[in-house]
């Protein structure tokens, strides 16, 4: 028993201080494309763009590296966003009709985004007609009138209200009701019908007192605010979708629900226009869908750009997501793969210019952002430096390569450049250029590799804040698939009209699921890599700077090793093309090793110095010499009782039933968790619903809802043979006197196999080793008693550091490992970490994570942590992500727990599964199918956006209204406190924001742990409620605090994220 | 250390009418059968055994291997009956000359060691046959114990479950629930973990120390407060080889009552004081070998490959393209060779190997007189 009591290290103050210098948890930046975008805005003066999402996130992008993030308190959909040009202020409208004002402020020279005010329109005050409050139930459109700092709000009821932006208060006596309008409309138009909701509000390009109000029914009026009267009326009869006011203010373009658009001119004599000057249905004559948005831009060279979304013929192309760009006679129908959310043009807005002169068109789609260069003939797409659609095909695996040598980097970049057609010399560069990136050049190059479902591997520049695509490797070309891959993507010229043009790269449909990439390993020194896929294919590739045409040698390895009674009932192997194939510059396949049976590859590792690749599936593992192109070893890891993997005739029925049941459970689970993820941050309501749904689904028929059986793991659990990790090391396996190449393999049932390899030594001065066969001899077998799956294996040298990568030591790029002291092997299972001595395998230290904490290990990695205080002080530690989403750090080889932080929600299974750690104490995980969250555990190595914007704005009045900020200490400590007392008097938003945006330089462990935050909460609340405390009160409070603690746990997580993204 | 045999490779008798008996004396085996339902008297059995082995003139003791692999004595009608009825399917009987027998050798532990010196409790039993014989405490293997009685509050019970590689499942389920605590603020409902179900015939049920609705407070010294059901489940499974659970029994009547302390706890209902005596003493720290049992060190099994210190290998590798399949099995082959040459003192290695080489095709040909009759499967 005593060992438990002495488990935790005594609080050594020196060590505690050191820990603070080494470790700090921050969620720094979100890479990729925002999940489920719902709104777009552009500030032409600051040249920054804002994207709002359905989960209430607001992201502002400028030049590469300029990124700001904010999150609404309620995870409601952002329906509209509007910049106050040049002021760095953003007004957002959520689908609960609340308005929020965000401001970009600077602190220590760095910009950050914070919500300063919010406005919830008075709801329908009962049905009390006497209520003086206007009915603002649903705001349909918002128009910011910059000159007067007011916002016009069009509502469903047909009224237009005015709001003072700096204070977010309604301006009395300015409201334009539908009656005001109807008064000036001819009687025959009126005919007793309402005007419908306000569909569009546009400001006059020159005269700030005039606004254009468009009603759903089709009526357009120009309202003069100064005179409070109707200036001009356009009697449209077609249901209105959107309006655009041309430069100069004389022309108005309206788009309609029948797929037509119409031009109206102001100077048509009287204040009444009965007919449009021109009306056109571009894709007629058959019924067309609505044109939801239209823009009309003038050019100096004559002619106009008419850009509109939708309007496609309903029957033939009604399902397409299109934006049409029309200029004079040139019409291009941009055909996207996902829904069009919104678009804008980058054009001149200064009043001196005579023409709009649009430079670029930016279209926000559900899954990507596409920018077209409108000045270059042909309107080519501009490659985006950020917002990369990671999920253009679903991400199936990811890997991070740190400190990439400059040589490989340059080769990769050039391979990537050859891949994508380079824009012409005069072409437009990225038009959204606002702000300055203040972040330092990254000290080292980091490469993130993502494997995708369609058999591609994408290489991303993960050195900085913006995740930039470098190169894309496709393995599909090697295999014969049912439909030929290349042809389907080629631009099939269907009909001449409409003139479709495929744009964008989001293509979620995989031709063949077997192509999916399961594991990737890259050697950064030689440019060799291995890509392993779903159908047991293991591909060794080499980076080549020139295109070539060559055949790929194919070998197959039988991992079953004559195991009887086995029939593989899964998918077949992929058949490769025979004969020489042309390969572009970049990674070109050299060898294809096919595992038999063709089960998905579960582990892979590469040793380029020995020219060996090791791979494992659910049946066993193999070792292949890719220099001699000959197999070295195959070993079956199946347990004889493993019926599920064996797929024997007897177990077939059972396993089918089991797998069916499992797949149903999975569906149900994913529905529930999907619902949660959609909300991203957690609304209490949705949370509760999800919990209800979870409770509603019966877990097992014969059991009461939540009950868990306590049974130890038996030896013949299903899938015990799955190979979980493979590892190469030059260490002592035979005896303490001689070290040599070894290979290690760990399985799902807690077995570790260690092989001594006989690799013929390379000749001096040559990297090619002599043509002699590699031999493998089984040296050790370790069966972990607790039989938990082995997650990782690593050999530590005499100083307790992990061995360097291949070539790292021989090319003097890393310190040579200590071969004098005794080596040790670290074996991490899902339940325990253990360090064994070598060559005699005896347990040295261990840490039983599951037995102590009840959490299981999901991902581990050895990482180096540099101290903030002293650059030279570096510690190697074991970073570990558990099934509860917590990140733990342990010392190596002592295996003492150092720090732990909550990182991912434990319900977010895909997030936990996607986590990848870097060598220097950072990590990535998917927060949505399209976004990687980057976090850092290191106090020194933090990659976060640092930027500044030139904001011209006297914002003193706004600042003055903010209460003095005494909260540095308070907010510094626990943002959770503020959250847990939602009844905070005055402005909860302010309090919230202070909490949200306050910076805490060194978030200590205690602060982030929910327990301590929770206790602080209760203390706080008790203080608030001093007075007559009855037992009932206490009980009630306890119930409340329990609940709030639960909420707090989830909220504080989001809070922490929100905070960290804003920290300077 | 808790090794036992649980599987036999013998013929099965589907209609369990007859029990196959394999009787061993020295290096000799005899096989015969008994009627499972009417085994008869011990004395007749004794005569039958000495007769079949032709050792009628020697005084011998008889023992058998029970389902857990422990060597237990047969010296009266009751344990003879038990031996026959629990034989599944083979009853293994070991016979030893009485003068060679060691009194301590029955009971749990490694069978091979015991086999050399079989216990004799029979001599006394033969003389005073009228009395019921109870074996010494050492003949029992602990399945559970109540520990730390002196430091725990009387309302709590710390139970240790021993899983000696036995086939009996731990056999209980846990669930979420709420329990009422007394706090400075008054009564307070807090979430807790409770035992929800016992598997009939499981280890947990057979101890009688755990019951449905007992609240689980600690698992191996770690408080479960604030942990989710899944976390507690994982903790228990991770500790399952040596599980120590501290519970607050739902039925507080069977608590251990400590003299002198009862009066000092006025809050307790009086029926606890006057209640029935505590659990039978057999549960209490019986057979507790601190040195042996406290070490929950589950030794991982390490098998050394037959790697000689590195020599330049003169043997040529297999031709390229063909898999050197021998590599995978080479360890087995080499060990087999080593073992056949080695002395019989390497039985532990045999067992380690046999546990890993459970696949019959990998099983080793053990030297004669080894443990081959117990089948290759060993759980450690």
The overall average pLDDT reported for chain A is: 79
Q: Answer whether A598's CB lies under 8 Å from A674's CB.
A: no
The residue ranking higher by pLDDT, A684 or A334, is: A334
Strand (E) or helix (H) holding A652: helix A651-679
Residue owning tokens 């799956």: A789
pLDDT of the residue at B326:
39
CA distance A641 to A157: 70
Chain B: closest CA distance from residue A512 (Å)? 30
pLDDT of the residue at B284:
37
Using a CB-CB cut-off of 8 Å, the residues of chain B touching A841 are 302
pLDDT of the residue at A295:
93
pLDDT of the residue at A992:
39
Closest to B203 measured CA to CA, from A712, A714, A786, A716: A712
pLDDT of the residue at A569:
81
The residue ranking higher by pLDDT, A157 or A926, is: A926
**Listed range (A268-277, A405-414, B13-22) with the worst mean pLDDT:** B13-22
Model confidence band, residue A596 (pLDDT cutoffs 50, 70, 90): confident
Using a CB-CB cut-off of 8 Å, the residues of chain A touching B336 are none
Dihedral Cα A393, A394, A395, A397, nearest 10 deg: -110
Q: Answer whether B362's CB lies under 8 Å from B332's CB.
A: yes
pLDDT of the residue at A443:
82
In degrees and rounded to multiples of 5, residue A1003 shows phi and psi of -65, 115
pLDDT of the residue at A675:
40
Nearest C-alpha in A relative to B202: A711
Q: At what angle do helices B42-52 and B77-86 cross, to 10 degrees?
A: 70
Mean pLDDT calculated for residue range A284-297: 91
Q: B170–A707: do the CB atoms touch at under 8 Å? A: no
Would you call A775 helix, strand, or coil by DSSP? strand
Mean pLDDT calculated for residue range A957-963: 41
Closest to A758 measured CA to CA, from A771, A770, A742, A769: A742
pLDDT at B123 over 70: no
The residue ranking higher by pLDDT, A973 or B61, is: B61
Q: Which of B196, B230, B240 sits opposite A712 (nearest CB)?
A: B240
Model confidence band, residue A764 (pLDDT cutoffs 50, 70, 90): low
Model confidence band, residue A543 (pLDDT cutoffs 50, 70, 90): very high
Model confidence band, residue A980 (pLDDT cutoffs 50, 70, 90): very low
Q: Chain B contact for A777, CB < 8 A?
A: yes
pLDDT at A996 over 80: no
Residues whose CB is less than 8 angstroms from the CB of residue A391 and which lie 6 or more positions away in sequence, other chains included: A32, A33, A367, A506, A508, A929, A930
CA distance A979 to B257: 49
Closest to A571 measured CA to CA, from A546, A540, A599: A599
The residue ranking higher by pLDDT, A489 or A405, is: A405
Nearest C-alpha in B relative to A705: B175
Mean pLDDT calculated for residue range A109-134: 68
Q: B221–A4: do the CB atoms touch at under 8 Å? A: yes
Query: Which site among A624, A854, A883 would you substitute to test the B interface, given the most B Cβ atoms closer than 10 Å to its Cβ?
Result: A854
Nearest C-alpha in B relative to A709: B173
pLDDT at B9 over 70: no
Q: CB burial class (10 A; 0-12, 13-18, 19+) of residue A689?
A: middle
Q: A756–B187: do the CB atoms touch at under 8 Å? A: no
Q: Which of A785, A854, A1038 sits opposite B185 (nearest CB)?
A: A1038
CA distance B74 to B139: 12
Q: B174–A1031: do the CB atoms touch at under 8 Å? A: no
CA distance A560 to A566: 9
**Greatest mean pLDDT among A563-572, B200-209, B344-353:** B200-209
Model confidence band, residue A558 (pLDDT cutoffs 50, 70, 90): very high
Q: Chain A contact for B177, CB < 8 A?
A: no
Tell me the pTM: 0.73
pLDDT at A949 over 90: no
Mean pLDDT calculated for residue range A623-651: 73
Q: Which of B228, B235, B305 sits opposite A850 (nearest CB)?
A: B235
Query: Which site among A691, A710, A789 would you substitute to test the B interface, given the most B Cβ atoms closer than 10 Å to its Cβ?
Result: A710
DSSP state of A619: S
CA distance A598 to A583: 25
Q: Which of B173, B331, B360 sits opposite A708 (nearest CB)?
A: B173
pLDDT of the residue at A284:
80
Closest to A371 measured CA to CA, from A308, A40, A321, A363: A363
Would you call A906 helix, strand, or coil by DSSP? coil
Q: B317–A775: do the CB atoms touch at under 8 Å? A: yes
pLDDT of the residue at B154:
85
With residues binned 3-state (H G I as helix, E B as strand, rest as coil), the percentages for chain B, rounded to 5, are 30, 25, 50
Give the 3-state DSSP-derived string for A9-34, with helices as H, strands as E and coil as C: CCCCHHHHHHHHHHEEEEEEEEEECC
For A159-194, the pLDDT digits (tens) are 888 888 888 888 887 888 888 888 888 877 877 777
- Please list, residue by residue across B295-309, b when 16 or more beta carbons sit within 10 angstroms of its beta carbon and e when fewer do: eeebebbbbebbbee
The residue ranking higher by pLDDT, A9 or A710, is: A710
Q: Chain B contact for A760, CB < 8 A?
A: no
Give the ipTM of the model, two decimals please: 0.72
Whole-angstrom CA distances from A474 to A209, A398, A459 are 57, 15, 11
The residue ranking higher by pLDDT, A748 or B168, is: A748
Whole-angstrom CA distances from A7 to A10, A729, A851 are 9, 31, 12
For A400-455, the pLDDT digits (tens) are 999 999 999 999 999 998 887 766 666 778 899 888 888 888 888 999 999 999 99
**Listed range (A282-291, A689-698, A749-758, B50-59) with the worst mean pLDDT:** A689-698
Chain B: closest CA distance from residue A833 (Å)? 13
In degrees and rounded to multiples of 5, residue A811 shows phi and psi of -100, 20
Q: Which of A710, A788, A832 sits opposite B233 (nearest CB)?
A: A710
Q: A851–B303: do the CB atoms touch at under 8 Å? A: no
Q: A707–B241: do the CB atoms touch at under 8 Å? A: no
**Strands, DSSP E only, in B45-185?**
60-65, 71-74, 90-97, 144-147, 157-162, 172-183
- Report the percentage of chain A scoring pLDDT > 90: 36
Q: B240–A1: do the CB atoms touch at under 8 Å? A: no
Size of interface A-B (CB pairs under 8 A): 198
Nearest C-alpha in B relative to A778: B305
CA distance B334 to B329: 9
Mean pLDDT calculated for residue range B261-285: 35
The overall average pLDDT reported for chain B is: 65
pLDDT of the residue at B138:
56
pLDDT at A1038 over 60: no
Mean pLDDT calculated for residue range A834-858: 90
Q: Which long-range contacts (CB under 8 A, 24 or more apart) does A698-704 make?
A: A703/B173, A704/B175, A704/B196
For A86-108, the pLDDT digits (tens) are 888 899 999 888 899 999 988 88
pLDDT at A1008 over 60: no
Q: Chain B contact for A1011, CB < 8 A?
A: yes
pLDDT of the residue at B296:
46
For B315-362, the pLDDT digits (tens) are 343 444 444 443 444 444 444 444 333 344 444 444 444 444 443 333
- Residue ranges of A 782-801 with Cβ closer than 8 A to chain B: 782-786, 788
For residue A126, count other CB atoms closer than 10 A to its CB: 8
Would you call A753 helix, strand, or coil by DSSP? strand
- Residue ranges of B 279-298 with Cβ closer than 8 A to chain A: 297-298
The residue ranking higher by pLDDT, A178 or A981, is: A178
Q: Answer whether A571's CB lies under 8 Å from A617's CB.
A: no
Q: Chain B contact for A957, CB < 8 A?
A: no
Q: CB burial class (10 A; 0-12, 13-18, 19+) of residue A350?
A: exposed
Q: Is the dihedral of CA B263, B265, B269, B272 positive or negative?
A: negative
Model confidence band, residue B102 (pLDDT cutoffs 50, 70, 90): low
pLDDT of the residue at A753:
95
**Listed range (A67-76, A356-365, B178-187, B368-377) with the worst mean pLDDT:** B368-377
Q: A712–B171: do the CB atoms touch at under 8 Å? A: no
pLDDT at A255 over 60: yes
The residue ranking higher by pLDDT, B46 or A266, is: B46
What number of CA atoms fall less than 13 Å from residue A638's CA on the CB side? 23
Chain A: closest CA distance from residue B189 (Å)? 8
Using a CB-CB cut-off of 8 Å, the residues of chain B touching A777 are 305, 307, 327, 330
End-to-end CA distance of chain A: 46
Closest to B353 measured CA to CA, from A891, B342, B148: B342
Q: What is the largest CA-CA distance in chain B?
A: 85
Model confidence band, residue A292 (pLDDT cutoffs 50, 70, 90): very high
pLDDT at B54 over 80: yes
Give the 3-state DSSP-derived string for B326-344, with helices as H, strands as E and coil as C: HHHHHHHHHHHHHHHHCCH
Query: Which site among A708, A837, A848 would you substitute to test the B interface, given the most B Cβ atoms closer than 10 Å to its Cβ?
Result: A708
The residue ranking higher by pLDDT, A484 or B238, is: B238
Model confidence band, residue A208 (pLDDT cutoffs 50, 70, 90): confident
pLDDT at B17 over 70: yes
Q: Is the dihedral of CA A277, A283, A284, A287 positive or negative?
A: negative
Q: Two tokens at A98?
A: 């609340």
pLDDT of the residue at A761:
78
pLDDT of the residue at A688:
53
Using a CB-CB cut-off of 8 Å, the residues of chain A touching B379 are 715
Using a CB-CB cut-off of 8 Å, the residues of chain A touching B301 are 781-783, 785
- Report the percentage of chain A scoring pLDDT > 70: 77
Mean pLDDT calculated for residue range B288-300: 48
Query: Which site among B194, B201, B210, B310 would you substitute to test the A interface, given the most A Cβ atoms closer than 10 Å to its Cβ?
Result: B310
| Cis peptide leading into residue A285 (ω within 30°) | yes
Q: Which of A561, A711, A850 sits opposite B170 (nearest CB)?
A: A711
Mean pLDDT calculated for residue range A339-344: 94
**Greatest mean pLDDT among A390-394, A433-437, A894-898, B309-313:** A894-898
Q: Answer whether A349's CB lies under 8 Å from A360's CB.
A: no
In degrees and rounded to multiples of 5, residue B83 shows phi and psi of -60, -45
- Report the percentage of chain B scoring pLDDT > 70: 52
Q: Chain B contact for A1006, CB < 8 A?
A: no
For residue A414, count other CB atoms closer than 10 A to its CB: 14
Chain B: closest CA distance from residue A1030 (Å)? 10
Q: Chain B contact for A952, CB < 8 A?
A: no
pLDDT at A279 over 80: yes
Q: A773–B232: do the CB atoms touch at under 8 Å? A: no
pLDDT at A752 over 60: yes
pLDDT at B220 over 60: yes
């Amino acid at each position: 028993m005593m060992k438990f009591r002495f488990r935790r290290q005594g609080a050594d103050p020196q060590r505690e201080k050191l820990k603070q210098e080494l470790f700090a948890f921050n969620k720094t930046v979100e890479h990729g494309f925002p999940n489920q975008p719902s709104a777009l805005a552009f500030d032409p003066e600051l040249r920054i763009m804002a994207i709002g999402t359905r989960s209430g996130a607001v992201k502002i992008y400028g030049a590469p590296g300029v990124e700001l993030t904010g999150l609404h308190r309620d995870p409601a959909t952002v329906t509209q966003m509007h910049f106050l040009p040049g002021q760095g202020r953003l007004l957002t409208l959520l689908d609960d009709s609340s308005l929020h004002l965000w401001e970009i402020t600077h602190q220590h020279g760095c910009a950050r985004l914070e919500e300063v005010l919010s406005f919830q329109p008075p709801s329908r005050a009962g049905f009390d007609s006497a209520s003086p409050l206007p009915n603002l139930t649903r705001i349909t459109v918002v128009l910011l009138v910059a000159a007067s700092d007011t916002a016009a709000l069009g509502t469903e009821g047909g009224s237009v209200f005015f709001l003072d932006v700096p204070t977010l208060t309604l301006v009395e006596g300015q409201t334009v009701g539908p009656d005001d309008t109807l008064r000036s409309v001819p009687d025959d138009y009126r005919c007793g019908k309402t005007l419908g909701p306000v569909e569009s509000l546009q400001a006059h390009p020159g005269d700030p007192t005039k606004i254009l109000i468009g009603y759903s029914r089709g009526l357009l009026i120009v309202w003069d605010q100064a005179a409070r009267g109707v200036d001009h009326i356009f009697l449209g009869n077609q249901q209105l979708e959107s309006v655009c006011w041309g430069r100069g203010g004389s022309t108005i373009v309206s788009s309609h629900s029948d797929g037509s658009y119409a031009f109206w001119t102001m100077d048509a004599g009287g204040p009444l226009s009965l007919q449009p000057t021109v009306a056109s249905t571009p894709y007629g004559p058959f019924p067309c869908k609505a044109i939801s948005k239209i823009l009309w831009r003038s050019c100096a060279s004559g002619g106009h750009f008419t850009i509109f979304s939708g309007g496609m013929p309903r029957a033939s192309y009604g399902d397409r997501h299109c934006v049409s760009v029309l200029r004079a006679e040139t019409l291009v129908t941009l055909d996207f793969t996902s829904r069009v959310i919104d678009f804008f043009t980058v054009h001149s807005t200064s009043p001196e210019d005579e023409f709009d002169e649009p430079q670029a068109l930016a279209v926000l789609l559900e899954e990507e952002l596409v920018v077209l260069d409108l000045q270059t003939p042909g309107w080519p797409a501009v490659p985006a430096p950020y917002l990369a659609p990671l999920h253009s095909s679903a991400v199936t695996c990811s890997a991070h390569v740190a400190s990439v040598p400059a040589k490989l980097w340059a080769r990769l970049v050039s391979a990537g450049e050859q891949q994508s057609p380079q824009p012409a010399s005069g072409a437009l560069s990225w038009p959204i250029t606002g702000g300055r990136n203040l972040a330092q050049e990254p000290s080292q190059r980091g490469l993130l590799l993502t494997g995708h479902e369609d058999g591609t591997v994408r290489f991303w520049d993960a050195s900085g804040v913006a995740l930039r695509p470098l190169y894309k490797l496709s393995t599909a070309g090697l295999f014969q698939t049912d439909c030929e891959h290349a042809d389907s993507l080629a631009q099939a010229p269907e009909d001449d009209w409409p003139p479709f043009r495929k744009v964008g790269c989001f293509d979620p449909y995989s031709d063949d699921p077997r192509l999916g990439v399961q594991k990737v390993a890259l050697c950064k020194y030689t440019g060799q890599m291995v890509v392993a896929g779903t159908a047991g294919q293991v591909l060794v590739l080499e980076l080549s700077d020139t295109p070539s045409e060559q055949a790929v040698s194919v070998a197959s390895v039988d991992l079953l090793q004559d195991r009887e009674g086995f029939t593989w009932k899964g998918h077949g192997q992929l058949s490769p093309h025979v004969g020489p194939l042309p390969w572009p510059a970049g990674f070109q396949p050299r060898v294809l090793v096919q595992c038999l049976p063709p089960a998905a590859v579960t582990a892979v590792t590469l040793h380029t110095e020995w020219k060996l690749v090791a791979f494992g599936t659910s049946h066993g593992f193999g070792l292949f010499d890719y220099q001699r192109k000959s197999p070295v070893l195959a070993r079956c890891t199946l347990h004889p009782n493993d019926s599920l993997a064996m797929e024997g005739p007897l177990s077939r029925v059972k396993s089918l039933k089991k797998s069916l049941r499992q797949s149903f459970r999975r569906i149900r689970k994913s529905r529930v968790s999907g619902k949660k993820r959609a909300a991203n941050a957690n609304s209490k309501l949705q949370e509760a619903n999800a919990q209800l749904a979870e409770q509603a689904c019966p877990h097992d028929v014969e059991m009461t809802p939540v009950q868990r059986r306590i049974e130890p793991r038996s030896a013949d659990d299903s899938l015990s043979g799955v190979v979980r990790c493979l590892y190469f090391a030059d260490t002592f396996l035979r005896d303490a006197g001689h070290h040599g190449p070894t290979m290690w393999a760990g399985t799902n049932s807690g077995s570790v196999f260690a092989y001594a390899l006989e690799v013929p030594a390379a000749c001096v001065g040559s990297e090619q080793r002599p043509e002699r066969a590699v031999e493998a001899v089984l040296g050790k077998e370790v069966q972990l008693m607790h039989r938990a799956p082995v997650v990782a294996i690593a050999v530590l040298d005499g100083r307790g550091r992990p061995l360097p990568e291949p070539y790292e030591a021989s090319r003097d790029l890393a310190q040579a490992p200590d071969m004098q002291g005794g080596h040790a092997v670290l074996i991490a299972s899902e339940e325990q970490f253990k360090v064994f001595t070598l060559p005699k395998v005896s347990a040295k230290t261990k840490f039983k994570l599951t037995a102590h904490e009840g959490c299981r290990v999901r991902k581990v990695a050895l990482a180096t942590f540099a101290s903030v205080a002293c650059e030279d002080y570096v510690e190697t530690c074991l970073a570990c992500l558990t099934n509860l989403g917590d990140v733990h750090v342990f010392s190596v080889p002592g295996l003492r727990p150092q720090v732990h932080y909550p990182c991912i929600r434990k319900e977010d299974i895909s997030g936990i599964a996607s986590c990848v750690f870097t060598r220097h104490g950072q990590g990535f995980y998917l927060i949505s199918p399209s976004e990687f969250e980057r976090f850092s555990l290191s106090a020194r190595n933090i990659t976060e956006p640092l930027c500044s914007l030139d904001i011209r704005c006297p914002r003193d009045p706004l600042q003055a209204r903010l209460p003095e900020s005494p909260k540095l200490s308070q907010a510094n400590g626990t943002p959770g406190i503020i959250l847990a007392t939602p009844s905070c008097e005055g402005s909860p938003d302010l309090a919230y924001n202070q909490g949200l945006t306050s910076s805490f330089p060194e978030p200590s462990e205690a602060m982030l742990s929910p327990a301590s935050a929770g206790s602080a909460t209760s203390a706080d609340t008790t203080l608030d409620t001093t007075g007559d405390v009855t037992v009932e009160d206490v009980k009630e409070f306890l119930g409340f605090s329990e609940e709030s603690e639960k909420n707090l746990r989830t909220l504080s997580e989001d809070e922490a994220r929100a905070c960290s993204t804003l920290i300077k | 250390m808790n090794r036992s045999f649980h599987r036999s490779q013998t013929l099965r008798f589907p209609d369990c009418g007859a029990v196959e008996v394999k009787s061993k004396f020295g290096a000799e085996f005899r096989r015969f059968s008994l009627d499972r339902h009417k085994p008869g008297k011990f004395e007749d059995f004794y005569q039958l055994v000495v007769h079949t082995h032709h050792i009628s003139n020697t005084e011998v003791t008889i023992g058998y291997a029970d389902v857990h692999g422990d060597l237990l004595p047969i010296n009266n009608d009751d344990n003879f009956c038990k031996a026959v009825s629990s034989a599944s399917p083979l009853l293994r009987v070991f016979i030893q000359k009485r003068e060679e027998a060691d009194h301590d050798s029955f009971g749990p532990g490694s069978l091979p060691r015991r086999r050399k010196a079989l216990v004799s409790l029979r001599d006394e039993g033969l003389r005073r046959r009228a009395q019921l014989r109870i074996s010494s405490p050492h003949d029992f293997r602990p399945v559970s114990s109540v520990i730390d009685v002196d430091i725990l509050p009387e309302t709590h019970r710390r139970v240790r479950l021993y899983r000696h590689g036995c086939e009996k499942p731990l056999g209980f389920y846990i669930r979420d629930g709420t329990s009422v605590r007394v706090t400075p603020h008054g009564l307070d409902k807090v979430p807790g973990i409770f035992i929800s179900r016992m598997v009939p015939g499981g280890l947990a049920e057979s101890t009688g120390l755990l019951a449905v609705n007992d609240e689980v407070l600690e698992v191996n010294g770690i408080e479960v407060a604030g942990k989710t059901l899944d976390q507690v489940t994982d903790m228990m499974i991770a500790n399952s080889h040596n599980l120590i659970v501290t519970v607050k029994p739902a039925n507080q009547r069977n608590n251990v009552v400590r003299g002198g302390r009862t009066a000092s706890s006025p809050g307790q209902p009086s029926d606890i004081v006057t209640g029935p005596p505590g659990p039978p003493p057999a549960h209490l720290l019986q057979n507790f070998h601190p040195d042996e049992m406290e070490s929950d060190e589950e030794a991982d099994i390490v098998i050394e490959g037959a790697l000689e210190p590195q020599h330049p290998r003169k043997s040529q590798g297999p031709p390229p393209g063909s898999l050197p399949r021998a590599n995978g099995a080479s360890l087995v082959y080499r060990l087999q060779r080593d073992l056949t040459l080695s002395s019989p003192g390497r039985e532990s290695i045999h067992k380690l190997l046999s546990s890993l080489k459970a696949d019959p095709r990998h099983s080793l040909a053990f030297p004669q007189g080894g443990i081959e009759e117990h089948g290759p499967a060993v759980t450690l």
